[in-house]
Amino acid sequence: TQLLEQSPQFLSIQEGENLTVYCNSSSVFSSLQWYRQEPGEGPVLLVTVVTGGEVKKLKRLTFQFGDARKDSSLHITAAQPGDTGLYLCAVPLNNNDMRFGAGTRLTVKP
């Protein structure tokens, strides 16, 4: 089983819709990161959440870290085609060994 379970695996929506993707685990983490990866590029760090219950906003993106620091969600308001990409959550384990979830592949249609 994966350390981080991301859902849904695929998501296709129309421009203007809202969406939420999830990153779940049975383990507790000191921090969790979200990345977006576009085709032909490497992942780009969006946010790091550290405190249980923490909410961070990045324009139309809202990130929340679960109270128990085992899970996280990413909510996008009024999605745009430019939001299309692979959304990955990741946690740092010992000695900079980053573990990634399998990702949610989001497609936003104009």
CB of 78 to another protein, least distance (A): 27
Residue type, 99: R
CA distance 78 to 66: 23
- Residues in contact with another protein by CB under 8 A are 33, 40-45, 48, 88, 90, 92, 94-103
Nearer to another protein, 43 or 66 (CB): 43
CA distance 56 to 74: 10
Residue type, 87: Y
Nearer to another protein, 40 or 110 (CB): 40
Place of tokens 């994966």: 2
Nearer to another protein, 20 or 48 (CB): 48
CB of 65 to another protein, least distance (A): 15
CB of 22 to another protein, least distance (A): 16
- The stretches of 21-93 forming alpha helices (DSSP H) are none
